[in-house]
Homo-oligomer: A and B are copies of this chain.
Amino acid sequence: MTIAIDEDRLSETFAALANSTRRAILARLAQGAATVNELAEPFEMRLPAVSKHIKVLERAGLVVRGQRAQYRPCALDATPLEAVSTWAEQYRPVWETRFDRMDDYLTQLQGPRRAKRTR
């Protein structure tokens, strides 16, 4: 049951990250909290569009909003990104094997003793 919930959470995180504007918002928030107005500035987007992106990030637990009157500054919560990293790192042996094979291949290509070897 816990696994099912985590899977749903992970799906939600990945869906939230599947947009370059939302990733840029996270990069900005890694520098410190910001209001929606401050976040909207560099993106040349209307406030409602930025607000929509922030809501997606908030639902995914990547952004938390402050309670300060009308400003409600946004802050980054990187917890779900640790789950993303942990999930992706499972596959490190797979991508590293690929590189190892490429190394073997290059060694074969370059190795003088193997130059005459037939395939």
Contacts and interface: CB of A to CB of B under 8 A. Distances in A.
Q: Give the copy number.
A: 2
Contacts of A15: 14-15, 18
Contacts of A95: 78-79, 81-82
Interface in A64-119: 76-79, 81-82, 84-85, 87-92, 94-95, 98
Given A91-B81, A95-B78, A20 B11 contact: yes
A108 B66 CA distance: 25
Contacts of A18: 11-12, 14-15, 18
A91 B18 CA distance: 16
Contacts of A8: 20
A38 interface: no
15 contacts: A11-B20, A14-B14, A15-B18, A76-B91, A78-B91, A78-B94, A78-B98, A79-B98, A81-B91, A82-B88, A82-B91, A82-B95, A84-B88, A85-B88, A85-B92
